[in-house]
Structure 1
Amino acid sequence: MYDVIPFSDLSVGDRVSAAKTVTEADGALYIAATGDFGPVHIDEDYASGTRFGRRLAPGIMVAGLCTSVLTAELAGVLGVSIEDSFWFTGPVFYGDTITVDVWIAEKHEETRTLVWEASAINEEGKEVLKARATLKYPRPKPA
């Protein structure tokens, strides 16, 4: 059902990449779930008058790709996010294919935390997102 990776099995430098095409359906579901009805995401006429010239996919939805790659492909589902920082370095448009590269930057045994970082690029090789976040892992249940 989901990957349970023990904290002890994770190491600094562990890394994974995954790609996803951001679709109109992705945006519609995110917008409906969050109520983020910013016109730059939903109104083509409005968005055409911005510096981007067309509608953008919601940035925090794109940031969510980092956490999904992290939990599905690298660190498993046990860690709980306690701090997240995202830098939106370029626009993401519906139809863009985004490649997310996620790696473990720090591991702190005493606090059972991992610091992970990520970078996302579009199909043109332009960076669109950077991330740095901390995950806290539960202590194992006594045997």
Structure 2
Amino acid sequence: MEQSGLDFVEVGQRYTFGKTVSETDVMLFAGITGDFSPTHVNEQYAREKSNLGGRIAHGALMVGYMSTASTLSIEHVIHKENLSDFPVSSGYDKLRFLKPVALGDTITVVYEVIRIDKEKGRSIAKNEVFNQRGELVAVGEHVMRWAKKLKGE
């Protein structure tokens, strides 16, 4: 008998992902995205022209780390037998970058399921990104859509 993956998702489930943001992370991300803003890639510029004290990570890199946490949230579901659907990210709402993330900061993403809408086939999770000082640096809500599988012949 087929079941929805949403049957295994519950409000209150929490998943975390932590990582120290390195020079390599920022430079590779700049290369992949083409965002070579000097606030991310030019230490001298960041020290002389901004009040940030040095380079900062891309906000979109924090969204990438949120995506990693969302992937962790579905690992317990996606390999179950007889699922009628599969999870696909539908995006992020209420996304905000609250504080800069410096190279060398260690961030922790907390991904918590806050709503399930079985009728619409989706789950919503609150994302909070904290630095090593416990400061909230980014937030957003992730929408996970549970797409119906195509029926085989």
Q: 1:102 aligns with which of 107, 111, 119?
A: 111
Cα deviation code 1:30-54 (max 9, x no counterpart):
1111100111001112111212121
1:17 matched to which residue of 2?
16
Number of equivalent positions:
138
Contact 2:116 2:123 in 1 (8 A): yes
Q: Distance in 1 between matches of 2:147 and 2:113?
A: 18
Q: Does residue 1:123 correspond to 2:122, yes or no?
A: no
Contact 2:121 2:145 in 1 (8 A): yes
Q: TM-score, normalised by structure 1?
A: 0.88
Structure 1 runs (4+) greater than 6 angstroms displaced: none
Shift of 1:140: 4.2
**Which amino acid is the alignment partner of residue 109 of structure 1?**
K
**Which amino acid is the alignment partner of residue 84 of structure 1?**
Y
Q: Distance in 1 between matches of 2:52 and 2:41?
A: 13
1:1-143 equivalences under 5 Å are 6-48=5-47, 49-71=49-71, 73-76=72-75, 78-85=86-93, 86-142=95-151
Q: CA RMSD in A?
A: 1.8
Contact 2:12 2:114 in 1 (8 A): yes
Shift of 1:138: 1.2
**Which amino acid is the alignment partner of residue 61 of structure 1?**
L
Q: TM-score, normalised by structure 2?
A: 0.83
Q: Distance in 1 between matches of 2:114 and 2:143?
A: 10
Larger-gyration structure (1/2):
2
Q: Distance in 1 between matches of 2:101 and 2:38?
A: 15
Percent of counterpart pairs with the same letter?
28
Structure 1 unaligned runs (5+)?
none
Shift of 1:15: 0.6
Shift of 1:142: 4.9
2:82 matched to which residue of 1?
none
Q: Distance in 2 between matches of 1:142 and 1:6?
A: 16
Contact 2:66 2:127 in 1 (8 A): yes
SS of the residue aligned with 2:147?
Answer: coil
**Which amino acid is the alignment partner of residue 105 of structure 1?**
I
